Amino acid sequence: MSDDKFPGWHGTTILAVRKGGEIVVAGDGQVSLGQTVIKGTARKVRRLSPGGRDVVCGFAGSTADAFTLLERLEKKLESAPGQLARACVDLAKDWRMDKYLRNLEAMLIVTDGRDLFVITGAGDVLEPEHDVAAIGSGGNFALAAARGLMETDLPAEQVARKAMSIAADICVYTNGNLTVETIKG
């Protein structure tokens, strides 16, 4: 997020882990303004059900901007049922090209249990390597921890919870109040 537009807002930590035939998306609940925690129980992981097919989304950045993007994604999924990749690419195109959308400050992790994508305002739709994706201020910490834990016998949810705990111990903009959604492939 650019400092000239936002007065010290810091993101969050969202982590997705694919293991054992399921994908777990976990997000912390902290919202910070500068050095002050404004809220500790925000829900930044949501389940959408466009056309009856579940999609789990996690977001980092501005909440209002993320909700705008989630609404757009839901419309894209309704017009292309069962085609998450197409809907994500269409959203990324709109996000980059549309005068209004291009100013939105957020990132998304999106999954339908089969595919897993990170979507950015730069027009990126990325499939993560190593079955782990993370975004937000504590994303690199959670990503590193999860990648290390993927080699253990822990199931996806425990990998996500432990990695998020490690990120919360390191990143002051991440707390341990998690929202966790699991979706099977």
Tokens of 179: 């929202």
* Sheet of strand 106-111, all strands in order from the earlier edge strand to the far edge: 45-48, 55-61, 106-111, 116-119, 125-126
Query: C-alpha distances in angstroms, 144 versus 15, 111, 173?
Result: 11, 20, 17
- Mind listing the pLDDT tens digit for each residue in 10-28? 568 999 999 999 999 999 9
Q: For the chain, list the domains and their CATH numbers.
A: 9-175 (3.60.20.10)
Tokens of 29: 């609940």
DSSP secondary structure code for residue 34 in this structure: T
Tokens of 150: 């993927």
| Phi, psi (rounded to 5 degrees) for 134 | -150, 145
Catalytic residue among 12, 13, 111, 174: 12
Q: Which residues contact 3 (CB under 8 A, 6 or more apart)?
A: none
Q: Is 36 a catalytic residue?
A: no
Query: C-alpha distances in angstroms, 1 versus 4, 65, 105?
Result: 9, 12, 6
- Mind listing the pLDDT tens digit for each residue in 29-79? 998 888 889 999 999 999 998 767 899 999 998 888 889 999 999 999 999
Q: Identify the band that residue 2 occupies on the pLDDT scale cut at 50, 70 and 90.
A: very low
Confidence (pLDDT) at 10: 54
| 128-163 burial code (b ≥16 CB/10 A, e <16) | beebbbbbbbbbebbbbbbbebbeeebebbebbbbb
Give the span between the Cα atoms of 23 and 134, in whole angstroms.
13
